């Protein structure tokens, strides 16, 4: 996923690349990549516990976390969202605006929710217990 983020062209995507790259690197450093799958939808990063990519092939679609951004009149707002569908086609059940400082903490709380919904019989990963 870090390689995907790095492919976006400069300078238009510089801030997005720095934000997403840093957040994904923090997740990897915490060992969360061993328990969650990351994919992409245009410029959104999608995180799930599904065994395979292609969440829309599942019936019903499984829950997922979306890392995204909204840009309006030069102002950029990053967010973490929880949903059962691609955000391009439906509204999330919850969404939290995040900053560089709050993103990992908010993402961890969403990952905990996702884990409980999809892997309730399995122990919560150590990185989410802190």
pLDDT digit string (tens) for 7-36?
A: 876 787 888 899 999 999 999 999 999 999
Kindly report the number of other CB atoms within 10 A of residue 104's CB atom: 17
CA-to-CA separations, 91 to 13, 30, 33, 82, 107, in angstroms, rounded: 25, 29, 26, 9, 18
Q: Answer for the pair 48, 61: CB distance below 8 angstroms, yes or no.
A: no
Q: What is the pLDDT of residues 72-130, one digit of tens each?
A: 777 889 999 999 998 988 899 999 999 999 999 999 999 999 999 999 999 999 999 97
Sheet of strand 44-48, all strands in order from the earlier edge strand to the far edge: 37-41, 44-48, 64-72, 75-83, 94-98
For the chain, give the number of residues. 130
């Amino acid at each position: 996923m870090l390689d995907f983020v790095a492919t976006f062209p400069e300078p238009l995507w510089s801030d997005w690349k720095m934000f997403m790259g840093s957040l994904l690197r923090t997740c990897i450093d915490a060992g969360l990549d061993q328990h969650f799958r990351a994919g992409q939808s245009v410029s959104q990063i999608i995180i799930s516990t599904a065994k395979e990519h292609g969440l829309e092939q599942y019936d019903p679609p499984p829950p997922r976390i979306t890392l995204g951004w909204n840009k309006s009149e030069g102002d950029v707002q990053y967010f973490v969202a929880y949903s059962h569908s691609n955000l391009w086609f439906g509204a999330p059940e919850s969404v939290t605006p995040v900053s560089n400082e709050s993103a990992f903490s908010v993402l961890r709380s969403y990952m905990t929710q996702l884990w409980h919904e999809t892997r309730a019989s399995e122990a919560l990963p150590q990185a989410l217990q802190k």
